[in-house]
Each structure stands twice: as C-alpha cells, then as structure tokens.
Amino acid sequence: MAEIKSFRAIRPTRDKVHLVATRPYYTYKKNVLKAKLQDNPFTFLHIINPEFGQKLKSPANSVERFELVKSAYANFIEDGILFQDAQPHIYLYRQTKDNHEYLGVIAGASVDEYKTNRIKKHEATLTAREQMFTEYLDIVGYNAEPVLLSYADEGGHIERLLHNKSMERPEYEYTTTDRIKHELWILNPEESDELIMHFRDVPEIYIADGHHRSASSAGVRNLRNTKGEQHYPNEDFFLAFLLEENKLNILEFNRLIKNVSLSKNELLGALEKHFIVSQSTNSVKPVHKHQLTMCFDGEWFILDCKDELKGIDHPVLSLDSDILTRLVLTPILGIKDLKTDENIEFVPGTESLKKVEKKILRGDYRLGFFLFPAEMKDVKAVADHDLIMPPKSTWVEPKLRSGLTIYNINE
C-alpha cells in the first residue's frame, strides 16, 4: 500500500511560471547564475540567494541565512508572484526532453512509509548534510523541489487516469531555454480521490533521486517532536513526483582520473587479471552490462569482464560501478574514497563522449572509464536487500524544477 496526499500547492501565477520555476541553483555555472539573478526579478533563485548583490553576506548554511530565505519567500507571496491554492489537489506534471516524455504525479508522500522502508532507498545519506537540510526545512517551512519516486503500475489504472487527464488543456504549458517542455494539470477532488485509491494498490515505492531531501523531511518531524513544538499534519508527508518506473531514464556516471603513476603497459597488465582487454581504433561506449571502455592518454580500450565476474550473484558486487571501484580504482589507482578523493571526477552520461574525450586529449585528465547504465531492476534489487549502491552509480532523469509546486509543511 502506498499512501499519497493532496495538498494546497503554493505556485507561481500563470503569467510568471516560466520566470519563477528554476533548476536547482547548484546546477548553474557562476556566470549563468549571476546573469539570471541580474536579469530576472521573478526567478525562485532570488529566494535561494536572498543576499545577491550585497557585499556583506551571512555565513552559508547558517540560521541567519535560512531566515533570510524564509523572508524572501514571504516577499514573493506578498508581491503576488506566488499564491496558494484554496483547496487541496493532486497535480499532474509532464516534462518532455529529447523525445523522452515523463508524465507523473505531484503529491505528498508518507514520512511513515519512508521511515518503515516501504519507500525504499538505495543511497546512504551524509549525516552533516541531512542535518543541515533538516534545520533549513524547519526554519523555512516548505519543500520547493519534489523527491523523485518510482512505482510499478501493475494494473495500468494510474496510467490510464493520467493519460485521460493529459488530454485536457494544462494549467501551465511552457518551454525553458534548455529546450525542455513543462506542463501541469490540476486534478479535481474526485480525480484526486480516485488516484489516492489506486496508489493504495501499489505495494512499494522506490526513491529514484532525492535521498537527502526525503531524510530531512522525516528529520523535521523528529526535530519538532524533540523540541515539543506544535505538530502540523503536513509534517507527515513530503513533496514528491511519482513516476512509473518504466518511464525513468537511467544513465551512467563515468569516471575521470587526473593523475596516473602507471605506464600504459603497467595499467593494461594489471587490468588483464579481471578483464579481457582489447584496443579500439575509435572512441566507444560500452554496449552491454559487464563491459567497460577506457581512454588513456587518448587511446581507447574495451574491457570485458571475465566469466568469474559475470557470474556474481549479489545486488551490489555485480554492479559495474562496484566492479570498477573494487578491482580497478582502489587496488590499481589507489582511489579509496570516491566521495572525497580529489583525483577522481564524475561525469553524467548526458555529456557526450566526444566532449569528455576532448578533456582527456587536452590534458585535464589522463584516464577515463565509461560504464554501461544500470537498470531499474538493479536499483530495486539493491533497495530490496537494504543495501547501498556505490557513489555516483546512476544519473536519473527527469531532473525536476524548484518553485513549480511548493509544499507548505506548516499546515
């Protein structure tokens, strides 16, 4: 059983939605972020960066900074840029990018189901980061970016309802400068109730992206209970975008190494213990699981796992990302901690092979490893066994916008 909740979204007025909703601020280069803040007074980025243009700024991730974010958010509401729906709804959202269509549900997801692992996880959260987000949410009082959750719609009832609703004219319809189309529909109470009923037949939900946001939403309720503060019903849920698992687009994270002490022959000799190594005359990506490709000083190689690796029956140890770390990055290249080692960088599969190769050819990196994408069944196997995937094992799309439908946790 999966429990979802309708809510009174705080959202942009129709004439400003394309100006307000934004990618998370950390996805922008500094010069692009500065230009957006200078040129667009309506962007949600002004809420996240309330001291833009000021010489003296509060410390990052401080209570003072969070209070300023809360104040900027209140100003957006006071100025009529954002407003709150009078009645609770469930919302239907579609994002279209590069011929991929992501049609899913924006609703509240259950904190209790998260805590009892009926919303299943495949990543570990960093304690310090989780605590920071928890304090942030406690002060500002809202979720602005949904957690991406996936589910299996066995009977097809949910998808039929979503498809029928998407035939109507959307409340929002716009395209952003990154050529992504966004559409939002508002379900009426009867449609919302029907959707809630169908989700009760979904046995389990998986976090596809947003483990820290989920954890911090659960942490807010614990924090406020500890402090003996007033309990709001909305604290029992967090903002989520629920997408049928077959619609997810799961890409790989490739690995780039800056410094390598081994010669080419030494590296190839070490790799031959676990891989069948062959040279390629051109740049190439893996074409199946248990095949990696490698670019070393501009030369390309194909690494096929030997049979003993292909036969591993373990949710984590069978992953190519784990095989690469366990048998290559750590023992051969001395990279022991993927989260902290400055000798390694991660590049999502959205970046073209030619662009990555160019970074190696100009000397930014000496070595690159390229992986075949994991599948949803791999993610589910890890989560079902209460295990954790290696860092940067998946790049999951869609990537969602902040400020499109805001969830007030203080209701």
Question: Residue 127 — pLDDT band, cuts 50, 70, 90?
Answer: confident
Q: Is the pLDDT of residue 75 over 90?
A: yes
The pair of structure tokens assigned to 52 is: 């833009």
Q: Which part of the chain is CATH 3.30.1760.10?
A: 253-393
- pLDDT digits 0-9 by tens, 189-207: 999 999 999 999 999 999 9
Question: Tens of pLDDT along 351-400?
Answer: 999 999 999 999 999 999 999 999 999 999 999 999 999 999 999 999 99
* pLDDT tens digits along 331-354: 999 999 998 999 999 999 999 999
Q: Within 13 Å of residue 331, how many CA atoms lie on the same side as its CB? A: 10
Burial of 167 (0-12, 13-18, 19+ CB in 10 A): exposed
Q: Tokens 């030494």 map to which residue?
A: 266
Would you place residue 208 in the very low, low, confident or very high pLDDT band (cuts 50, 70, 90)? Answer: very high
Q: Compute the radius of gyration of the chain from its Cα atoms.
A: 23
Q: What is the CATH number of domain 253-393?
A: 3.30.1760.10
Q: Which residues of 313-349 are buried (b: 16+ CB within 10 A; e: fewer)?
A: eebbebbbbbbbbbbbbeebbebeebeebeebbebeb
Given this model, what pLDDT does residue 26 score? Answer: 84
Local confidence band at 24 (pLDDT 50, 70, 90 cut-offs): confident
398 prior amide bond cis, ω within 30: yes
pLDDT for 345 equals 96
Averaged pLDDT score across all residues of the chain: 96
- Can you give the pLDDT at residue 99? 87
User: Which pLDDT score is estimated for 46?
Assistant: 97
Model pLDDT, residue 274: 97
- Does residue 81 carry a pLDDT above 90? yes
Q: Which of 18-32, 107-121, 250-264, 287-301 has the lowest mean pLDDT?
A: 18-32
Distances (CA, A) of 118 to 45, 95, 143, 386: 33, 27, 21, 11
Question: Residue 124 pLDDT more than 90?
Answer: no
d(CA 224, CA 232): 10
Residue 56 has pLDDT above 90, yes or no: no
